[in-house]
Chain A
């Protein structure tokens, strides 16, 4: 029995996700990243409790090029999750459900994430 080639439903591997879907999965991804990042925060806080030597080691680890790269990643993840989280809270309150509004708030989140990250690092590096 021959079967006609029927149109298949969009599959993740070939389907280009729309921006809103990408932002949705990014919210989860950054959330998981931040949960892992909390280990670094705990390590840094513990180093301050252990004493000057441990603190100096932690400061050197975090202050290394790789440390800065990781820290930059966490900054982006934090600001994205924070801004998009506020967007979710606004949705929970019942506002902004229309598709054009969702796109608009999405762009606001992306711009705010970039702006906050740049401002934070500009200030941090200038001190």
Chain B
């Protein structure tokens, strides 16, 4: 017999018992992405028509590199959780499993590819 109270047992476990962590991560990454996306748009717009050297110097600044890496990480987690939510509703059974595997692989690959590009631009020089 458990001595835990009913409230203690269910706290942090919604009606589905698991998944609270996913919901929390979805909100947490959303919160991070609000300023990050605004920053990226402003930065990109202010660099319209900039030369390769200017763009490269911007990418190589520690501030830009850090913010881009955080944006890529938060964006990828957010996208994976969001796409999974869509799959949960519209795709079922075996098809869902394979679709989710494909989505996880693709989003991770795009994220790593972009992150490595950012790091290479930052460390390899012009």
A contact set with B: CB distance below 8 Å:
28, 31-32, 34-35, 38-39, 41-42, 45-46, 48-49, 52, 55-56, 75, 78, 82, 85-86, 88-89, 92, 120, 123-124, 127
Contact = CB atoms under 8 A, between A and B. Distances in A.
Contacts, number: 79
Interface of B: 27, 30-31, 33-34, 37-38, 41, 45-46, 48-49, 52, 55-56, 59, 68, 75-76, 79, 82-83, 85-86, 107, 110-111, 113-114, 116-118, 120-121, 124
B70 to A, nearest CB: 14
A45 B111 CA distance: 11
A56 B49 CA distance: 11
A45 B52 contact: no
A55 B55 contact: yes
Contacts of B117: 42, 45-46, 48-49
Interface secondary structure of A, over-half rule? helix
Contacts of B121: 45, 48-49
